[in-house]
């Protein structure tokens, strides 16, 4: 599929910005989570889940970029 012009830019922005958002959120949660783990390592499961939650944002970004490029 050939994607050009503003469509390509839009797709790039959709995934790029949402990836940044995910990264920012994960950085904050991750550092707090490691702090919590230092206190009590039985929290590992919950910390992992909390850290993984923001990944949904970038998945939405992926979906949006696939939609604008006409993949789905």
Partner 1 sequence: MTKISVTGPKKYLNDVIDELHSLEVLDIEAYDGELETGEPFEEAEDLSQLLVDIRSLESKLPEVDVEEEDLELEEIENNVTEISDKIDRLTGKKERLERNISGLNDERKFFKRITGTGLTYDDLQGSKNLEVFIGVVDEEVLEEKASGSFDIVEGKSASVVIFEKDSDVEQALMDAQERSFELPEGDYSGTPEEIVSNAQTKKSEYRNEIETVEAQLEELAVEWRGKLETAEKYLTERIEKAEAPLNFGTTDNTFIIEGWIPSDSYATFEERVAEVTEGKVYIQQEEGENPPVEHDNTRFVKPFESFTDLMSVPKYNEIDPSIVLMLTFPLFFGFMIGDAGYGLTSLAVFYGGMKMFQKASAMFKSLMYASVATFLFGLAFGDAFGYVIFGHHSELAAVTGIHLFEQIPILWHRAEHLGQVFTISALIGLVHVNLGYLIGMYNEYVRHDFRHAFLEKGSWLMLEAAAILWFLEGTAVGAPVMVIALATLWAGEGVEGIVEIPSLLSNILSYLRIFGVSVAAVSLAAVVNSMANPLLTSGSVIGLAAGIGLLIFGHVFNTFIKIMEGFLQGIRLHYVEMFGKFYEGGGRKYAPFGAEGST
Q: Which of 31, 59, 67, 70 binds partner 1 (CB under 8 A)?
A: 59
Q: How far is the CB of 58 from partner 1 (least distance, A)?
A: 9
As to burial, measured by CB atoms within 10 angstroms (0-12 exposed, 13-18 middle, 19+ buried), residue 35 is exposed
- Name which of 32 and 59 has its Cβ closer to partner 1: 59
Task: Write the CA distances from 41 to 30, 33, 54, integer angstroms.
Answer: 14, 10, 22
Q: Which of 20, 27, 48, 67 binds partner 1 (CB under 8 A)?
A: 48
Q: How far is the CB of 57 from partner 1 (least distance, A)?
A: 9
How big is the chain by its Cα radius of gyration, in Å? 16
Is 45 a binding residue for partner 1 by CB under 8 A? The answer is: yes
């Amino acid at each position: 599929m050939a994607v050009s012009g503003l469509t390509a830019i839009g797709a790039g922005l959709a995934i790029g910005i949402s990836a940044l958002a995910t990264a920012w959120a994960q950085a904050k949660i991750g550092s707090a989570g490691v702090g919590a783990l230092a206190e009590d390592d039985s929290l590992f499961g919950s910390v992992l889940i909390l850290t993984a939650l923001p990944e949904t944002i970038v998945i939405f970004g992926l979906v949006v970029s696939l939609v604008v490029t006409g993949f789905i």
